[in-house]
Amino acid sequence: MTITAKYFGLIADFTKEIEEEFTIEKSDFSTEDLLNDLKQKYSELQETSFVIAVNKNITSENLNLKNNDIIALLPPFAGG
Amino acid sequence: MTITAKYFGLIADFTKEIEEEFTIEKSDFSTEDLLNDLKQKYSELQETSFVIAVNKNITSENLNLKNNDIIALLPPFAGG
Amino acid sequence: MEKKTIKKSFTQGAIAAEFIGNSIAKHQNKTSIGAHNIFLGQVRADEIEGKIVSAIEYSAYEEMAEQSFYEIREAAFEKYDLTCLHIYHSLGLVKTGEICLFVFVSAPRRKVVYKALEFLVEEIKEKVAIFGKEIFEDETYTWKKNS
Amino acid sequence: MEKKTIKKSFTQGAIAAEFIGNSIAKHQNKTSIGAHNIFLGQVRADEIEGKIVSAIEYSAYEEMAEQSFYEIREAAFEKYDLTCLHIYHSLGLVKTGEICLFVFVSAPRRKVVYKALEFLVEEIKEKVAIFGKEIFEDETYTWKKNS
């Protein structure tokens, strides 16, 4: 399956990308698996506070990902 | 002594004046005395809800009046 | 020597939307402000016993009312950490849809502006000697009471 | 057939005082409205570790944020008896003293507008995926966090 990770604010500063597509060989792959891979790739993520949104819904659960899912990494909000 | 009564809103409607000067012969004359006289003169006052201000301060006490005091009869406020 | 003058709150007729826009613009050089809160009172076309209000004619015990505005303003500065505040109230005729009250508070941080604005508006409604004649389309009228 | 479109809240750059004045003017034909309450967020020239903020550059997860604005707006209509409400938030660069957030609620009676406005502003601060880069005079920056 193919999934997209989106990066915002402070996080996009160190990923140097605002979006990345990943092709996953396994059929069983969760948000936690993705975050573990990303923390390997971007060590700064380990000291960054953020929440994740799967297909625009914020979630704190460990969800199984499907083909075409969009996972956003969102640092603290600062509207207003 | 001379005192001034001021009328506003609904009350000025039936006093037909916005201000009246009264010369009081007695030296001992209170807000309650004034209101009794005014209720005689303007019977509509008996069924009207209002507060009074003596020299721009709202009071619910029976105050002795002095020369040049200004007593305002104020119907319910409707600002805003 | 400067003499402290009491800022006037009454203004003749309706308060124009453009005046409000200009007041906001004037605050843009105060860069310690983080939050503004504005209350506007607008004259409603209420139906009262089958007749529609077309305007309110405001009158006041002006000298006393300006004193009350002053005291309310001072009390608000005492209670809340505000950068500035402004109060404008109409006298004379204000048609339905037009604005008769404009209260404007500004502060470094937002939490305080909500409370300060509500305090000011409620105090004005309760304590300022203003009277309103609700004028109907047929030119009859009734005296407004605040609820 | 009309398609229901989600009203957009984001606007490019600062929100002009004149735009706010015009929004107020547009409500003057709605004669059932008795009270408006407006919140404005203004960019502060904060000092952070000895450096002065000169602007905030806003970015957002736009598709998600517009959906959040929509949900917050619907929740406010559900909770409070409002005639209308409007939310505008800046994207891109907003200099100190300029306005980045404009929330506008209107209702027949005043009691409800205070609560509705505070609800909206607090929800926006907490739930909308907006990010702010505080840019200093020397062009370095830090990421803003809401408190």
Distance CA D124, CA D76 (A): 12
Q: What is the ipTM of this complex?
A: 0.94
Instruction: List the one residue out of D91, D95, D3, D93 whose CA is nearest residue D43.
Output: D95
Q: How many domains does chain D have?
A: 1
Distance of alpha carbon C19 from alpha carbon C17, whole angstroms: 5
Task: State the pLDDT at residue C1.
Answer: 47
Nearest to B80 by CA among C73, D114, C129: C129
Q: With H, G, I as helix, E, B as strand and everything else as coil, classify residue B30.
A: strand
Q: Considering the domain boundaries, does residue D21 fall inside one? A: yes
What are the C-alpha distances in Å from D19 to residues C36, D15, D102?
16, 7, 10
D17, D110, D121 member nearest C24 (Cβ): D17
Q: What is the pLDDT of residues B4-31, one digit of tens each?
A: 999 999 999 999 999 999 999 988 999 9
| Min Cα–Cα distance to chain D from A77, Å | 5
**CA torsion angle for A9, A14, A18, A20 (degrees, to 10)?**
-140
Q: Which long-range contacts (CB under 8 A, 24 or more apart) does C45-50 make?
A: C45/C96, C45/C97, C45/D31, C45/D32, C46/C134, C48/C134, C48/C136, C48/C142
- pLDDT, tens only, C6-34: 679 999 999 999 999 999 999 999 999 99
Residue span of the structural domain in which D39 resides: 10-143
Any contact of B with C, at least 3 CB pairs below 8 A? yes
Whether B75 has a pLDDT exceeding 70, the answer reads: yes
| C110 inside domain | yes
Q: Is the pLDDT of residue C2 over 60?
A: no
How far apart CA A42 and CA A11 sit, in angstroms, is 9
Please give the share of chain C, as a percent, with pLDDT higher than 90: 93
Closest listed residue to residue D107, CA positions, set D85, D123, D86, D124: D85
| Structural domain contains residue D4 | no
- In whole angstroms, how far apart are CA C34 and each of A9, D82, D92? 22, 26, 18
Confidence of residue D1 (pLDDT cuts 50, 70, 90): very low
Cα separation values, B64 from B3, B30, B32, B37, Å: 12, 4, 9, 15
Q: What percent of chain C has pLDDT over 70?
A: 95
Q: What is the mean pLDDT of chain C?
A: 95
Q: Average pLDDT for residues D15-29, to the nearest whole number?
A: 98
Pairing of strands B2-7, B70-74: parallel
3-state secondary structure string across chain D: CCCCCCCCCEEECCECHHHHHHHHHHCCCCCCCCEEEEEEEECCCCEECCEEEEEEEEEECHHHHHHHHHHHHHHHHHHCCCCEEEEEEEEEEEECCCEEEEEEEEECCCHHHHHHHHHHHHHHHHHCCEEEEEEECCCCEEECCCC
Cα torsion C15, C19, C20, C21 to 10°: value is 150
Going by C-beta distance under 8 Å and a sequence separation of 6 or more, which residues neighbour residue B13?
none
Asked if residue D5 has pLDDT above 90, the reply is no
What residues of chain C, 4 to 63, have a C-beta less than 8 Å from chain B?
A: 41, 58-61, 63
Residue pair C123/C58 in contact (Cβ under 8 Å)? The answer is no
- Within 8 A of C67 by CB-CB distance, chain B residues are 56
Q: Output the CA–CA distances (angstroms, integers) from residue B11 to B34, B43, C51, C124, in the order listed.
A: 15, 11, 23, 21
Contact criterion met (CB < 8 Å) for C127 and B6: no
Q: How confident is the model at residue D146 (pLDDT cuts 50, 70, 90)?
A: confident
Chain D CB contacts of A11 below 8 Å: none
C4 pLDDT more than 60: no
Q: Is residue D5 part of a domain?
A: no
- In chain A, residues with a C-beta closer than 8 Å to the C-beta of D130 are 77-80
Which residue, among D88, D118, D125, would best test binding to C if mutated, counting the most C CBs under 10 Å from its CB? D118
pTM of the model: 0.95
Q: Which residues, in sequence order, are CB contacts of A3 under 8 Å at separation 6+?
A: A21, A22, A24, A29, A34, A65, A67, A68, A69, A70, A71
Whole-number pLDDT of residue C146: 77
pLDDT at residue A27 in the model? 87
In a domain, C103, yes or no: yes
Q: Is residue C80 in a domain?
A: yes
**Is the pLDDT at D78 greater than 90, yes or no?**
yes
Does any domain span residue D113? yes
What are the Cα distances from residue B22, in Å, to B4, B7, B52, D103, D142?
6, 14, 16, 54, 72
**At a CB cut-off of 8 Å and minimum separation 6, what does C110 contact?**
A80, C34, C35, D39, D41, D121
Question: Could you give the percent of chain D with pLDDT greater than 70?
Answer: 95
Handedness of CA D11, D15, D20, D21 (dihedral sign): negative
Find where tokens 């004005």 sit: C124
Taking any CB pair shorter than 8 Å as contact, residues of chain C touching chain D are: 17-18, 20-22, 24-25, 27-45, 96-99, 108, 110, 113-114, 117-118, 121
**Residue D70 forms part of a structural domain:** yes
CATH number at residue D61: 3.90.1170.40
